[in-house]
Structure 1
Amino acid sequence: MRRAALLIGASFAFACAAVTAQAQQQVPTDLATMPPVADDYVPGTTAWGDPDFRGTWPLNDIAELPVNRPAQYGDRFWKTPEEIAAEQGRVEALEGAYASEDEEGTIGLGHWIEYEAGVRRTSMIVSPADGRLPALTAEGIRRSALMRGSWTVGQTFDWVTDFDSWDRCVSRGFPASMFPFRYNNGIRIFQSPGYVVIQLEMLGTRIIPVSGQEEAWPVGIDGWFGHSTGRWVDGNTLEVVTTRIQPGASLFNTATRGVPANNTIPMSAEARVVERFSMVGPDTITYEMDYADPVIWAAPFTTRVDWTRDDSYEFFEYACHEGNVQVRNYITANRTLREQEYARGRMVDPIDPDAAPPPAMDPASRGVGRQN
């Protein structure tokens, strides 16, 4: 697991040096203002004439940036110098943990947590202006309550449909996979004539045609990353429209900072995602995502973050399937717990160890029937 450098220093001057020069240039005097994405940089081109976005763009330097804006920042998109300097203690503690593990020959959170501190932004959400996700609709609340997964506190486990796609090492889902986790945050972009390929260090690869014309999928086919089509805009921006996203995975993963807990943010078949990858400097891509799903959300929302090139970043195998006994262990342990509770008179019905999977759940949820 590659650990990124922790970049914040003891003073604001050092913190300013820690974040990218591009990000610093965008900080306005009015901290409650979000400037438009810069459009004056002209990237190099590939041999076939497309803007050249190839390279490695790990998300460690935005892993501490929450999706939802914490209340302490009010209506500000940006932190003050004093707020940046106050983050120093946590960074020093993590640096010390990493050094101690090396010295003692142990592996713990110091090696697992990857991020670079010093981010001036207060949230990934830039619209609505309050930096907060909009409210769920009544249907969104209903579907959220039906979702299952190992992250949900107090849930019972009897079959594979009690686990989400991430638990089962299938996919983090989309757009969740485009946002940072606590580790394996690598993103690598490849290009060929007519295509852009986005390789994710954790579970999956996106293949995006960029002809500007939709390549039709057969009726009835959806995908965990959806059906994406791209086009080049203004010589420095890749715009990608994605629909037909397989419902089931959470919209945001629970370990991405500043999102609702339990990994149960639902998605409907009407979800539509528009991404804009804008090269704003030789080593910076501004990534914007417009998300709309009127079945689930009361209003659309937009996130914006900056990606920083780091071609020295190494991908590490995310060997989730090897020795993945957790699904079985969860079921065995949970059934044993319920048997013990029944024996103490705290449950109404005993657990039948030979019982078939539970009846099909509401079709609005992911877990229908005996799916693997």
Structure 2
Amino acid sequence: MCAVQPAIAQDADLVTVPAVPRDYQPGTTEWGDPDLRGTWPIDHLNFTPLQRPPEQGMRYFLNDEEFAQRSAMLAARGEAYAGEIEDETIGMGHWVEPGDANRRTSFVIDPADGRLPPLTAEGVRLSATKRSSYLPDQTYDTPLDFDTWDRCITRGLPASMFPFNYNNGIRIFQAPGMVAIQMEMVHEVRIIPLGEDYSAPSGNSFWLGQSRGHWEDGNTLVVETSNFNAQGAPVNVGTWGSPPGNNTPQSTQAHMTERFTITGPDTIIYEVTYTDPVIFTAPWTARLDWQRDEAYTLFEYACHEGNVQIRGYINSSRAQREQARGQNRE
């Protein structure tokens, strides 16, 4: 069922980005750190777009008419999802978990238009070299014709912190001097040391970069991530409103600053600022509203389902080209 939210008065401020509440004092762990531990799935945010539709301009919130349209769309998808279960006809309707209706126009809040900044000239050049099953009219001959997500290596960052159609579970674990973030998609775990500078030696790099964190204001975990290996894709394929195709590159100069602010016993505001001067002409920031759900179950992410998908793509692509050559000879 879609969440019910109150109507917004015609003279309401739909543009101003609300300040993050910072007055909540959370409980603490046995060793005294703010307690983030728990299950924080982001499936309720499905169908909230990464980028704002241009016609919504500078509006942070949907108006009543737009919210009603989103609510109706998600309600219809939810009914179809439930109907497949009831009728035991589970099919394409279960590829997408509908999510709940909310009034956000986009996850991106900076730039103010809710749009990702343009790519640099080098970003455009590198984008043209990317290979992915999400790109149209592509041929496949080797595993290198697929991106790292296709090959079940990683969805990358910041993509892994945004919702996809399914497998949106996130769990946070803590130990003295350490935070771990488990992600259902690809079953990756981010290990985040706290308090010290754990910079990697020169020349070392990682699929998910290297993160280190510290606490601010008694309720906010701040995580800085750098040392990416530049082989992932930072813009979020599958997240609604993303640029089409998994072809936005990432450079070794990419840097992420994340803020996990506890705003209530069951709520976190997650913000990420992403900077990559080689690829983007400016930094950008996104905000997501997390909700605790300890009843959520993390399922197996059977990425290749028998490890046959890459081979199947390649065999099919070669067969299609051979068939086309035969037709041309005729």
Q: Is TM > 0.5 for Structure 1 vs Structure 2? A: yes
Partner of 1:15: 5
TM alignment of 1:41-80, pairs within 5 A: 41-80=24-63
- 1:333 aligned residue (313, 316, 319): 316
CA contact (8 A) 1:15 1:84 kept: no
CA contact (8 A) 1:231 1:238 kept: yes
TM alignment of 1:112-123, pairs within 5 A: 112-123=95-106
**CA deviation map 1:267-301 (0-9, x unaligned):** 11100110011111111111111111111111111
**CA deviation map 1:109-144 (0-9, x unaligned):** 333322432211101111111111010011000101
Which secondary structure state, in structure 2, belongs to the residue aligned with residue 288 of structure 1?
A: strand
- 2:137 aligned residue (144, 150, 154): 154
TM alignment of 1:219-230, pairs within 5 A: 219-230=202-213
Give the deviation of 1:100 after TM superposition: 2.5
**CA deviation map 1:24-62 (0-9, x unaligned):** 9xxx93111012211111111000000000011000121
Give the deviation of 1:252 after TM superposition: 2.0
Note the residue ranges of structure 2 that are not aligned, 5 or more in a row. none
Partner of 1:279: 262
- Alignment of 1:206 with 2:165, yes or no, is no
Partner of 2:64: 81
- 1:100 aligned residue (61, 83, 91): 83
CA contact (8 A) 2:2 2:71 kept: no
Q: In structure 2, do the counterparts of structure 1 residues 92 and 126 end up closer, same or farther at CA, with 3 Å as the change threshold?
A: closer
**CA deviation map 1:45-82 (0-9, x unaligned):** 00000000001100012122111101231211001223
Q: In structure 2, do the counterparts of structure 1 residues 99 and 118 end up closer, same or farther at CA, with 3 Å as the change threshold?
A: closer
- Aligned residue identity for 2:283: P
Q: Give the Cα–Cα distance (whole angstroms) in 2 for the partners of residues 269 and 99 of structure 1.
A: 44
Which secondary structure state, in structure 2, belongs to the residue aligned with residue 343 of structure 1?
A: helix
CA contact (8 A) 2:77 2:98 kept: no
- 2:158 aligned residue (175, 191, 214): 175
Q: Which moved more, 1:40-49 or 1:333-342?
A: 333-342
- Alignment of 1:265 with 2:255, yes or no, is no
Partner of 2:288: 305
Which secondary structure state, in structure 1, belongs to the residue aligned with residue 245 of structure 2?
A: helix
CA contact (8 A) 1:61 1:119 kept: no
Structure 1 residue runs of 4+, over 6 Å off?
Answer: none
State TM-score, norm by structure 1: 0.84
- 1:190 aligned residue (162, 167, 173): 173
- Alignment of 1:288 with 2:283, yes or no, is no
Percent identity, aligned pairs only, is: 52
Q: Give the Cα–Cα distance (whole angstroms) in 2 for the partners of residues 260 and 341 of structure 1.
A: 31
Which secondary structure state, in structure 2, belongs to the residue aligned with residue 143 of structure 1?
A: helix
What is the aligned length?
A: 326
CA contact (8 A) 2:2 2:75 kept: no
Structure showing greater Rg: 1
Which secondary structure state, in structure 1, belongs to the residue aligned with residue 324 of structure 2?
A: helix
Q: Which moved more, 1:32-41 or 1:181-190?
A: 32-41
- Aligned residue identity for 2:303: C
Which secondary structure state, in structure 2, belongs to the residue aligned with residue 275 of structure 1?
A: strand
Give the deviation of 1:98 after TM superposition: 2.1
Partner of 2:112: 129
- Aligned residue identity for 1:232: W
Give the deviation of 1:318 after TM superposition: 0.5
Give the deviation of 1:187 after TM superposition: 0.3
**CA deviation map 1:169-223 (0-9, x unaligned):** 1110111101100000000000000000000011111000012x21232332211
- Alignment of 1:163 with 2:139, yes or no, is no
Give the alignment's Cα RMSD to 1 decimal. Answer: 1.7
- Aligned residue identity for 2:60: F
Q: Give the Cα–Cα distance (whole angstroms) in 2 for the partners of residues 81 and 322 of structure 1.
A: 43
Q: Give the Cα–Cα distance (whole angstroms) in 2 for the partners of residues 102 and 321 of structure 1.
A: 24
